[in-house]
Structure 1
Amino acid sequence: PNHEAEYYANFNFIWKDALEQTKKHKAHLLIAVLSQDQSKLEQAKMFTKIAALCLDNKHALGFYTGAVVLEPSFYIENAKMLDDNRLPVYNWIYVSVYPSENGVNAYTYGLRNFDKLELEVCDLNIEEKELFFCIYDIVLHILTYDINLKDKDILKFEDGKEIKFIKSQGISVENESLKIIF
């Protein structure tokens, strides 16, 4: 509705034909999984399985997540991670990385679906691609271990890397977010 899918297709830098393919859509299917008994993570897993089944159709043009439109084959391949007891975070969380005057900024979209604060990075001197994958590693860690980060928390990785989080008003996201300090 209101050309939302076409607008958000522009945010998929991996799928080059996203906008062209999305413009072809004639209808949409809405999927919801609601449960008071299952965790947000279990609901997301169920949702992903249902969505992947729906996308396994020659007429499926894309999957609109609310922040980006994903290519059906990309979504389906990521959903298969569930078969190996891995989390398909690329299907659940959108990460936007963009240049700023003093480096690179980034933010997540989708962590709130898991009752977590969104993450942001401000003015970091790093390659955009490196930051993109680094944030996904952090997201995967948070969701895998159901970590509820708070202001001034430090996340320690097995390789000895430590990342600090500062809670403050969001810059690129609504409400409060956790700023990642490397």
Structure 2
Amino acid sequence: MRATMCGLVAIALVSLVGCTRTENPSPPTTITTTVTASTVQGTTRTAPSQGTAVDPADYQGPGGHFFASPSAKWHCGIVAASRQAGCHGPMPADAPAVPGSGAPDTMVRPNSIVVAWGNQMARFTSIGDPQFMPDGPNSRPLPYGRSLTVGNFTCTVAQTTGVTCTNTLSHHGFTVSDHAYELR
């Protein structure tokens, strides 16, 4: 009985295989989807291109490379010691509250925006001492449409969108102006 059952199963399988068509087999289809997490608030704008590069030596100061926006609203830096890029300036009104510097149980308006070396999204912060300004009173302006690249960070300034800083390895970064922001 068992031999008969195995024989019937074998005949059924051969019949099924014999009924399939192989004249025009379709090649397998591969679909690739890339999803990028992003937080956008305020007016959505197209991020500026990287622009024409400046000489990093022109922006080097103690502990990093520093610049101001041409409007002087933003003071920014790429700081080697802390392996991050960031800016101080007039944060948008809808920027989320963050733990206070020195008082982490108190939520306050942020006074800086930062993108780190690792694979972390950019974030707003409250920093007690300015980290993204040179020791002297003035930061050299980074002209609109120009870019400053140091290590894996590139920062640009655009008149319509504000300051953009990106970690070129992780593609995390931010674009910020006094009325809008994007965290990547």
Indicate the TM-score class for this superposition, using the shorter chain for normalisation: under 0.3
Bigger radius of gyration: 2
Structure 2 length-normalised TM: 0.23
Structure with the higher fraction of residues in strand conformation: 2
Structure 1 length-normalised TM: 0.23
Q: Larger RCO: Structure 1 or Structure 2 (Cα < 8 Å, ≥ 6 residues apart)?
A: 2
